[in-house]
Amino acid sequence: IPAFLARQTDFVVEVARAGKPVNIKKPQFMSPTQIKHVVNKCREAGNDNVMLCERGTCFGYDNLVVDMLGFRQMKEVSNNAPIIFDVTHSLQNRDPLGDASGGRRGQVLELARAGMAVGLAGLFLEAHEDPDRARCDGPSALPLDKLEPFLVQVKAVDDLVKSFEPLEIR
């Protein structure tokens, strides 16, 4: 479910009733804990096969930031739904006078590593063989020739974090 449609109850319910896995992208204007209402709509429609996708939160008018604390909050309010991190869309920023989204592709690896360090279920990202010529999302897209080494590093972080014994800290 796209971020801008996540609050459209009729749409959310119909998607859930299809009986397929539902990936809900958290809107930029929604707090991590508010996503529980969207999850509940899916579950009330008979679909428990829900995953959540973080793509950043509005910070000012033309910028997105990712709050790493929000991943755990989303997991807790959703009864442990898998959390996916849309790392490239999180790097978008708009030029107030421009007609397309800008981006900070140079930060994709560090943001992906940070996300995987909190034990996420997976990543979503845009990749293109020539991001500067991509029709959309180019400024935040990963160059395709960097995809394999990118995934090797991100998977190494994921494997390391998931190898630890759980440590409860209260």
Query: Residue 145: its pLDDT value, please?
Result: 95
SS3 letters for 37-60? HHHHHHHHCCCCCEEEEECCEECC
Domains of the chain: 3-163 (3.20.20.70)
Lowest pLDDT segment from 27-41, 81-95, 97-111 = 97-111
Contacts of 79 (CB under 8 A, 6+ apart): 39
Whole-angstrom distance, CA of residue 72 vs CA of residue 131? 32
Dig out the tokens for 109 from the structure. 């690896």
pLDDT of residue 10: 93
49-78, pLDDT tens digit by residue? 999 999 888 887 778 889 999 999 999 999
On the CB side of 137, CA atoms within 13 Å amount to: 15
What is the pLDDT, as a whole number, of residue 88?
85
How far apart CA 105 and CA 45 sit, in angstroms, is: 38
pTM for this entry: 0.86
What digits encode the pLDDT tens for the residues 99-158? 667 778 788 999 999 999 999 999 999 988 888 888 888 777 889 999 999 999 999 999
Q: Tokens representing 8?
A: 């459209």
